[in-house]
Amino acid sequence: MEKNYHVYVLASRSHVLYTGVTRDLMSRVGQHREGKVSSFTAKYRIHRLVYFETFRGVRAAIAREKQIKSWTGEKRAELIQATDSTWVDLAAEWFPSYPRKAGPSASLGMTGFRRGGKEELHNKARAVGTAKAVP
């Protein structure tokens, strides 16, 4: 019996990314959704499967995982974007929908910020010459 290994990328709604490797993709994504395997993915609500690759050997899968992890966030985002520009959850049909976090940020329309949002916003403002101090 041939064993397959999967390199996968999970994302939060704000595009914080997590890259991992597993033999059982469905089970592993389920563990992330339940908060059983990584405090990082639980803390940042990283549970949407947005990319994966399948390998026949564990060494090739681990090498690819290390390669992807060494990339900048921007390069990882480009990898995902190349296969799916909407960042749809590829495992959405495997599990019940993940509940959205209730709180003031959602009601204020602040769910679109990505990692480094304030710094990125400040840099954009500076580029157009309207930089303001961001607390």
Inter-residue contact 61 to 24 (CB < 8 Å): no
Q: Is the pLDDT of residue 98 over 80?
A: no
Residues 6+ apart with CB under 8 A from 128: none
Name the more confident of 1 and 33.
33
Give tens-digit pLDDT for 26-52. 999 999 988 888 789 999 999 999 999
Q: Is the pLDDT of residue 129 over 80?
A: no
Of the candidates 81, 80, 82, 92, the one whose C-alpha atom is nearest the C-alpha of residue 26 is: 92
Predicted confidence at residue 11, as pLDDT, reads 95
Of the candidates 75, 78, 98, the one whose C-alpha atom is nearest the C-alpha of residue 29 is: 98
Predicted confidence at residue 82, as pLDDT, reads 95
Q: List helix spans (H) across 71-116.
A: 73-83, 104-107
pTM of the model: 0.71
